[in-house]
Structure 1
């Protein structure tokens, strides 16, 4: 019997194909890397990457990858945690899975003693800026490449 409501699953050989099958809408593909690339980065970055499949009942509905205690400036002066990737399947968008993913990452960061959840997003009409601002993220005046950096204070 499966648990009702969304949950996170660690990526394993059992659910790898389901994770790789997650596809966002075509107009969003420029804003988030595919799951395969995220999993390759998780492999390379090891302990700082936290990839998870989002499942509702027995349906894979999305993928997230958090970064936990990453050396942001690569010099040891600034350590951050946050949401690295969020891919909600095209047919599953608008059902609360993105909010569930952000809440789940926030809970994991809090569990590890963190006080802030960082995220980056592509600006523009098809980007996720409105989603993140609606959840309480605020831009912090930084960019990462061409992306806006935002933070959510965790209490």
Structure 2
């Protein structure tokens, strides 16, 4: 497994990547993520997940972004912004690999915590993130549970 930058050569494949139908309400499509990455410049870290030559996923981190500027302008965080694993590639460790790569990138930049949020519902990603060691903070952001992992 490896991560690659999004390039003119692989962007069409990235845009075609889709999660299972029952997960579409849980994560934005790759096209939305790439638009947000463009808008946020160096604070976004989008990468494609490959197994050999096969594209199996997309992951994007947020790096040192203000969490809630209206509440505390000095509260800046890094974490997992998006994780899309192709419908036919789920359950094979690609998501765990991608989250580990985000943690490695944040650690390399001096970060000590990684944040993530999820929609609390049956069939949602909470068990996956808890298994990786994320713990809820007690915060809710846009209806999503906020969790943190200490590095």
Output the TM-score relative to the length of structure 2: 0.97
Aligned alpha-carbon RMSD (Å): 0.7
Aligned partner of 2:20 in structure 1 is 25
Describe the superposition over 1:93-125 as per-residue Cα deviations: whole angstroms up to 9, x where unpaired.
Answer: 000000001100000000000000000001111
Equivalent residue pairs, number: 149
Output the TM-score relative to the length of structure 1: 0.94
- For residue 140 of structure 1, the aligned residue among 137, 142, 150 is 137
Q: Which runs of 5+ in 1 are unaligned?
A: 1-5
Aligned partner of 2:77 in structure 1 is 80
- Structure 1 outlier segments of 4+, above 3 Å: none
Q: Which runs of 5+ in 2 are unaligned?
A: none
Aligned partner of 1:101 in structure 2 is 98
Shift of 1:129: 0.3
Is 1:110 the counterpart of 2:107? The answer is: yes
Cα distance in 2 between the residues matched to 1:122 and 1:19? 24
